[in-house]
Amino acid sequence: MKQALVAVLCCAFINLKAQITPLNLIPQPVEVQQSAGSFALTNKTTISYNKAEAKVATDMLIQRINTATGLMLKAQEGKTGMIQLNLNANTQLGKEGYTIEVTPKTVLVSANEAAGLFYGMQTVLQLLPKEIESKSVIKANWTIPAVKITDYPRFAWRGIMLDVSRNFFTKEEVKKYIDNIARFKYNTFHWHLTDDEGWRIEIKSLPKLTEVGAWRVARAGHFGDRDAPKPGEKATVGGYYTQEDIKEVVKYAQERNVTIVPEIDVPGHSMAAIAAYPELSTTKNPNTFVNPGANIADWYGNGTFKLRYENALNPSDEKVYEFLDKVMTEVAALFPNQYIHVGGDECYKGFWAADAGCQALMKKLGIRHVEDLQGYFMNRLEKILEAKGKKLIGWDEILEGGISPNATVMSWRGVKGGIEAAHLGHEVVMTPTTFAYLDYNQGDNSVDPPIYAGLRVSKSYSFEPVPDGVDAKYILGGQGNLWSEQLPTARYADYMTYPRAWALSEVYWSQKSAKNWDNFSKRMEAHFERADVAEINYSKAAYDAIITAKMKDNKLVVELGSEIADLDIYYSIDDSMPDKYSSKYTQPIEMPDGPITLRVITYRAGKPIGHLITLKRAELERRAGK
């Protein structure tokens, strides 16, 4: 009798397991309990919300559902809907947490605040079939699997930075970018608005900033290798956001629970501002130009550099601080959040060292090192911001020369600056190049256009924002940064953002104990399919082979690997094109002498899936350090 009962229970468990399909949610919730069955969306489905603050998320959910399904669902106030978005008190959830309970009869989404409902709504959309991402009506089995979810974020700051200075993106493109990151529970959009290559925000009291500073001469080709402007050449490439544009984007972001942090990059990276107002620099050169992507600096192997053109504001000139006060007055009025990012990175001080005014200021202040002038500058700027009710945040170079305890630090040169800042009692946002720079190429340099360095999605996923020995209370969270030197279009910006922004969303939102690369990679692949339906571009470099070369006993040895576990790797060294009948990689390959070419491709289930990678012997030897 007992054996029969056990057999029945086992069969029931197997049948239940067969009915439960993976949910593929990104980022991974705190707690998920699946059960059998599902909720079906039909034209009889009703949707309600219990408080006025819940209406925005409810309307967004209905809009997404109706667009893809063709249903004509409408929201109603109250607690009678089959799908309900309710604001209820739950101390466990905090400001951004939520719960979801799906049964065959109801879908209940609850949160303490509107932000939590918004994130719960995004999870409900991920529970629906991938076709929900369609911009037009499509036929699908519109069901939501039965599940209980409890979810809340690990970190308060979950950000993405977009640089619109080096390449300008329109207001509509920026709104779409914000919408897409909000789907993955990012709550901060760092808007890099000014740099050497363009000033992108209207300042009404300083009209030349956009009349001159927003435009550069037309140039094609690789950024950093372009020609400087020629005498008399007109600047026709660029653009800027009016203050009405800014207000519109801020409102759009607020509706998606995204805070916009503007960046006005000073004192360095100010060439566009100086082109508009040359008197802001030490040399006051009237021929200063907005950089079209020319190489304006000599970089040395130890990270130091020398600028050929002046791009830093003059810290000894009181008119510079009058300029900054005008700029920050208008910026502060446009952005309601508490922070204004002031840059502070890569400030070349050679022109300061040669300037009599700067030398006189150093003597007056009793400072011996020109580097300390940046600390003076930042402290002056911080007082300007404080007078407008704002907090200063900047890249980790702002630690050089001393800053006030109230300043917040973004650690980009690895995590070292963040560790130092936290030990000094500063709040920190971790955004190191080694894990979070989305402009770095994602695969092999022979496939993706090479830039400063590479960063694979698995490396981003491995990031831990709280370093050992650091009090976690000082780590606000983290951020991915997308610089736009090599981003000619918004679609390519998406390609560089995803899937690494999906990986970082899980780093910043999900519990540390939930991290599992093999599990994430499967969910990532499911989101490839969703992105295809949504027409969002992304990189498939995770399918490509990883090729490592080294010298061993004076022989060139190559090792092949992949980020995704279940791929087969095939290669050739005989000038044939590899396929599944070629040599299959099983162990390191000792390259024979001679002018060989290595060709590598990945397969899954007998079908090619990765890019063909072709490397000549000279490149392999270079990678081996020979």
Kind and range of the H or E run holding 548: strand 545-552
Residue 585, amino acid: Y
Mean pLDDT for 391-403 is 88
Strand partners, 615: 598
Q: Which of the pair, 326 or 92, is modelled with greater confidence? A: 326
Residue 256's CATH number? 3.20.20.80
Task: Evaluate whether 306 touches 233 at the Cβ level (below 8 Å).
Answer: no
Q: Which of the pair, 10 or 238, is modelled with greater confidence? A: 238
Instruction: Determine the pLDDT at residue 357.
Output: 97
Q: What angle do CA 150, 155, 160 make, to 5 degrees?
A: 110
Same domain for 388 and 520, yes or no, is yes
The helix/strand count (H/E) of the chain reads as 18, 29
| Number of domains the chain contains | 3
Same domain for 474 and 563, yes or no, is no
- Residue 489: strand, helix, or coil: coil
Across the chain, mean pLDDT equals 95
Residue 9 lies in a domain: no
Same domain for 536 and 594, yes or no, is no
Strands 47-49 and 75-77, bridge-based pairing: parallel
Range with the poorest average pLDDT among 24-28, 255-259, 293-297, 313-317: 293-297
DSSP conformation class of 448: S
Residue 578 lies in a domain: yes
The answer to whether the Cα torsion of 305, 306, 312, 317 is positive or negative is: positive
> Residue 611 catalytic?
no
Count of residues in the chain: 626
Same domain for 534 and 430, yes or no, is yes
Token readout for 416 is 């070292």
Peptide bond preceding 488 in cis form (omega within 30 of 0): no
The model's pLDDT over 407-439, given as tens digits with 9 standing for 90+, comes to 999 999 999 999 999 999 999 999 999 999 999
Active-site option among 190, 269, 426, 611: 269
Strands 597-604 and 607-608, bridge-based pairing: antiparallel
pLDDT band at 10 (very low <50, low <70, confident <90, very high): very low
Task: Evaluate whether 317 touches 361 at the Cβ level (below 8 Å).
Answer: no
Token readout for 569 is 């790797």
Nearest Cα residue to 23 out of 542, 605, 571, 526: 526
Boundary residue ending a domain (100, 133, 151): 151
Residue 37's CATH number? 3.30.379.10
> Residue 269 catalytic?
yes
Mean pLDDT for 438-455 is 94
Residue 476, amino acid: L
Q: What is the C-alpha separation between 344 and 427, in angstroms, rounded?
A: 17
pLDDT higher than 80, residue 16: no
Same domain for 535 and 580, yes or no, is no
Same domain for 321 and 385, yes or no, is yes
Residue 13 lies in a domain: no
Same domain for 613 and 519, yes or no, is no
In sequence order, the 6+-apart residues with CB closer than 8 A to the CB of 574 are none
Percent of the chain with pLDDT over 90: 92
Residue 12 lies in a domain: no
Strands 259-266 and 188-192, bridge-based pairing: parallel
Active-site option among 59, 179, 345, 346: 346
Same domain for 146 and 169, yes or no, is no
Instruction: Determine the pLDDT at residue 19.
Output: 58
The model's pLDDT over 283-323, given as tens digits with 9 standing for 90+, comes to 999 999 999 999 998 888 777 888 999 999 999 999 999 99
Q: What is the C-alpha separation between 403 and 427, in angstroms, rounded?
A: 12
**DSSP string spanning 17-42?**
HHH------SSPPSEEEEEEEEEEP-
Task: Evaluate whether 370 touches 355 at the Cβ level (below 8 Å).
Answer: no
Nearest Cα residue to 119 out of 172, 54, 75: 54
Residue 371, amino acid: E
pLDDT higher than 90, residue 161: yes
Which class for 169: exposed (0-12), middle (13-18), buried (19 or more C-beta within 10 A)? buried
Highest mean predicted confidence (pLDDT) among 89-98, 161-170, 444-453: 161-170
Strand partners, 294: 226
Active-site option among 96, 151, 163, 195: 195
Residue 548's CATH number? 2.60.40
Q: What is the C-alpha separation between 58 and 76, in angstroms, rounded?
A: 9
Residue 10 lies in a domain: no
> Residue 579 catalytic?
no
Boundary residue ending a domain (541, 557, 574): 541
Place of tokens 């029945």: 8
C-alpha 610, offset from chain centre: 24
Same domain for 535 and 557, yes or no, is no
- CA-to-CA dists, residue 282 to 313, 355, 366, 509, angstroms: 7, 6, 20, 45
**DSSP string spanning 383-445?**
HHHHHTT-EEEEEGGGGTT---TT-EEEE-SSSHHHHHHHHTT--EEE--HHHHBTTSB-S-T
Nearest Cα residue to 108 out of 125, 128, 83: 83
Strand partners, 339: 391
pLDDT higher than 50, residue 159: yes
Instruction: Determine the pLDDT at residue 306.
Output: 87
Largest Cα span, the chain: 98
Reported as half-sphere exposure (CB side, CA atoms, 13 A), residue 164 has a value of: 27
Full domain range(s) for residue 488 = 157-541
The model's pLDDT over 92-104, given as tens digits with 9 standing for 90+, comes to 899 999 999 999 9
Percent of the chain with pLDDT over 70: 97
Boundary residue ending a domain (495, 523, 541): 541
Residue 318: Cβ within 10 Å count = 9
Residue 8 lies in a domain: no
Instruction: Determine the pLDDT at residue 7.
Output: 47
The answer to whether the Cα torsion of 291, 296, 300, 306 is positive or negative is: negative
Same domain for 522 and 561, yes or no, is no
Range with the poorest average pLDDT among 13-17, 35-39, 582-586: 13-17
Which class for 208: exposed (0-12), middle (13-18), buried (19 or more C-beta within 10 A)? middle
In sequence order, the 6+-apart residues with CB closer than 8 A to the CB of 472 are 466
Nearest Cα residue to 135 out of 73, 63, 236: 63
Instruction: Determine the pLDDT at residue 577.
Output: 97
Q: What is the C-alpha separation between 343 and 439, in angstroms, rounded?
A: 18
Same domain for 162 and 274, yes or no, is yes
Same domain for 454 and 565, yes or no, is no
Query: Which value, in Å, is the radius of gyration of the alpha carbons in the chain?
Result: 27
Q: What is the C-alpha separation between 110 and 88, in angstroms, rounded?
A: 6
Residue 123 lies in a domain: yes
Q: What is the C-alpha separation between 475 and 431, in angstroms, rounded?
A: 11
Mean pLDDT for 139-145 is 95
pLDDT higher than 80, residue 110: yes
In sequence order, the 6+-apart residues with CB closer than 8 A to the CB of 605 are none
Residue 11 lies in a domain: no
Q: What is the C-alpha separation between 490 and 377, in angstroms, rounded?
A: 35
